[in-house]
Amino acid sequence: MTKNKLQRFEENLSFPNLFQPSYDDLLEKPFSLKGKWRTDFFKNNHPIVLELACGKGEYTVGLAKRHPNVNFIGIDRQGARVWRGCKTSNDENLVNVAFLRTQIQYIDLLFAKDEVDEIWITFPDPQPKKSKLKRRLTSQNMLERYAKVLKPDGIVHLKTDSVFFTDFTLEVIEENKHLLQFCTHDLYHEYPDMEVASIQTFYEQIWLNQGLKIHYLKFQLHPSMFK
Ligand SMILES: C[S@@+](CC[C@H](N)C(=O)[O-])C[C@H]1O[C@@H](n2cnc3c(N)ncnc32)[C@H](O)[C@@H]1O
């Protein structure tokens, strides 16, 4: 492991807005902020928006600056990446930002039913192998987990460069009768003025430099998933 990475892991321990629960921790006792993010951490009654696979947390931080009356939480399993978002949010005193370094699969151990207002999924690994289908972050399997914490009218946003992943997601939406609210296969040419076009992530910049088009979808889960 590089010295830089070790330093970041060390510094991660000092950030007051970073939580790093292990699966064992979560199994042993309920996560202390589950159902209490607003009262015990943010100390307000504002909506909660998650960024899944947040990496360095560009959306978490970028949206938090634009929307001070909304709470944003980035989730990623890689400590050296979430370090970036933690560092920026602490340096800039952003009180509406938190990060979780953990597996997205544990989402229902981290949040209570209806605690989450919106979910962003930014440039997830496409996981093209069929054996990894359930791990794709927009598989029906994962959407079922999100439904355990998302409000019934909650919105899921997906931003990706991957045609494969976009097509897969559109199939999941159609097969399961989720409600597609918006879809573009070329965000920056078709809708350059939308807010979603005003923030670029680390990976996104790589794909944009390679000339790839960026897809953006917005959908709601079928009401039957919330019963
Ligand atoms: C391609 S990167 C995108 C990162 C960032 N959103 C960006 O656009 O720069 C995918 C990220 O998803 C994270 N990731 C993938 N599967 C995950 C899981 N099951 N739980 C937590 N993080 C996951 C990886 O650690 C990685 O940082």
CA of 193 to the centre of ligand 1 (A): 26
Q: What is the pLDDT of residue 3?
A: 74
Query: Of 76, 83, 212, which is best to mutate to test ligand 1, by the most ligand atoms within 8 angstroms of its C-beta?
Result: 76
**3-state per-residue secondary structure call for 26-88:** HHHCCCCCCCCHHHHHHCCCCCEEEEECCCCCHHHHHHHHHCCCCEEEEEECCHHHHHHHHHH
> Atom of ligand 1 at shortest distance to CA of 78?
25
**3-state per-residue secondary structure call for the chain:** CCHHHHHHHHHHCCCCCEECCCHHHHHHCCCCCCCCHHHHHHCCCCCEEEEECCCCCHHHHHHHHHCCCCEEEEEECCHHHHHHHHHHHHHCCCCCEEEEECCHHHHHHHCCCCCEEEEEEECCCCCCCHHHHHHCCCCHHHHHHHHCCEEEEEEEEEEECCHHHHHHHHHHHHHCCCEEEEEECCHHHHCCCCHHHHCCCHHHHHHHHCCCCCEEEEEECCHHHHC
CA of 125 to the centre of ligand 1 (A): 7
Mean pLDDT by runs of 10 across the 227 residues of the chain is 88 97 93 98 98 98 98 97 98 98 97 98 97 96 98 98 98 98 98 98 98 98 95
Q: Which of 125, 153, 167, 186 is catalytic?
A: 125
Q: Whose CA is nearest to atom 5 of ligand 1?
A: 55
Q: What is the pLDDT of residue 77?
A: 97
What domains are defined for the chain? 3-226 (3.40.50.150)
Q: Whose CA is nearest to atom 12 of ligand 1?
A: 53
- CA dihedral 41→43→47→53, nearest 10 degrees, is -20
Pocket of ligand 1 from Cβ distances under 6 Å: 53-55, 76-78, 81, 103-105, 122-125, 201-204
Q: What is the pLDDT of residue 87?
A: 97
Could you confirm whether 125 is annotated as catalytic?
yes
CB crowding 153-172: b at 16 or more within 10 Å, else e: ebbbbbbbbbeebbebbbeb
Q: What is the pLDDT of residue 227?
A: 81
Q: What is the pLDDT of residue 88?
A: 98
Q: Whose CA is nearest to atom 16 of ligand 1?
A: 53
Q: Whose CA is nearest to atom 13 of ligand 1?
A: 53
